[in-house]
């Protein structure tokens, strides 16, 4: 578990997380409204070096952010209003998930179907406004990557 005291800490954690991400990765974010999912995604976008401000895509379902300097595109999905992610296939995004990092807010219970391997991140607000962040890797080499991020966080 990671404790992020400020929004800037959450953003910085996203930047660090981006360093271990590869094309084809899927990240599923859960946590209540205001838990920090979009703040974390902005950090991931900054770490990937994508163009454009990563805003909450709540009203548009999905947004593609392209890298300015040849890293990996970010596909940012807000599943809040979707009943199933089959609708994601119909969106006709102009990048493929295999070539991108896909981050899905509110995706838990739905987005798992998109890939066998995914990183689940749960955010929980504490009374003092700090956020507890828990990562669970499913399949793939997530546990090694989580260990790497946690090592960097403690040094
Ligand atoms: P979500 O996408 O989960 O609804 P947002 O990232 O859009 O959440 O919003 C999180 C809100 O909580 C922001 O207004 C942010 O400034 C505030 N906040 C306060 N403390 C933290 C923290 N430790 N980490 C992340 N956000 C925080
Ligand atoms: Mg959000």
**pLDDT tens-digit series, residues 67-108:** 887 689 999 988 887 777 776 666 667 788 889 999 999 888
Sequence-separated (6 or more) residues with CB below 8 Å from residue 42: 11, 14, 53, 54
What pLDDT score was predicted for residue 59?
Answer: 60
Burial code (b: 16+ CB inside 10 Å, e: under 16) for 112-136 equals: bebbeebbbbbbeeeeeeebebebe
Report the C-alpha gap between 25 and 72 in whole angstroms: 10
Closest residue by CA, ligand 1 atom 14: 34
Residue listed under structure tokens 């009374």: 127
Counting atoms of ligand 1 from 1, which one is nearest the CA of 6? 23
pTM of the model: 0.92
- State the pLDDT at residue 121: 98
Residue 80 vs residue 128, higher pLDDT: 128
How far is residue 128's CA from residue 5's CA, in Å, rounded to a whole number? 8
Q: What is the reported pLDDT for 112?
A: 85
Mean pLDDT estimate for the chain: 88
Which pLDDT belongs to residue 70?
67
What's the gap in Å between 52 CA and the centre of ligand 1? 19
Using the atom order of ligand 1, give the atom closest to the CA of residue 39: 6
Ligand lying closest to the C-alpha of residue 63? 2
Min mean pLDDT across 25-29, 63-67, 143-147 is at 63-67
Mean pLDDT on 11-27: 96
Question: Residue holding tokens 């996203």?
Answer: 14
Residue 155 has pLDDT above 60, yes or no: no
Strand 131-138: give its sheet, edge to edge: 2-4, 131-138, 118-125, 26-30, 101-105, 74-78, 62-65
Phi-psi region of 36 (alpha: psi -120 to 50; beta: other; left: phi over 0): left
pLDDT band, very low/low/confident/very high, at 125 (cuts 50, 70, 90): very high
Q: Cβ contacts of residue 114 below 8 Å, gap of 6+?
A: 26, 85, 88, 97, 102, 104
Does an H or E element contain 5, and which? Answer: none
Q: What is the mean pLDDT of residues 8-27?
A: 96
Q: In angstroms, what is the span from residue 59 Cα to ligand 1's centroid? A: 18
């Amino acid at each position: 578990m990671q404790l992020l005291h400020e929004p800037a800490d959450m953003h910085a954690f996203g930047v660090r997380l981006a360093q271990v991400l590869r094309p084809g990765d899927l990240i599923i974010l859960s946590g209540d409204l205001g838990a920090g999912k979009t703040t974390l995604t902005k950090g991931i976008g900054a770490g990937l070096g994508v163009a454009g401000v990563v805003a909450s895509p709540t009203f548009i379902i999905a947004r593609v952010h392209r890298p300015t300097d040849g890293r990996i595109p970010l596909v940012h999905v807000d599943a809040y209003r979707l009943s199933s992610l089959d609708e994601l296939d119909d969106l006709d995004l102009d990048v493929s998930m295999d070539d991108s990092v896909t981050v899905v807010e509110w995706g838990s219970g739905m987005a798992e179907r998109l890939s066998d391997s995914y990183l689940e991140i749960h955010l929980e607000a504490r009374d003092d406004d700090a956020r507890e962040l828990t990562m669970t890797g499913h399949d793939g080499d997530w546990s090694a990557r989580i260990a790497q991020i946690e090592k960097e966080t403690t040094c």
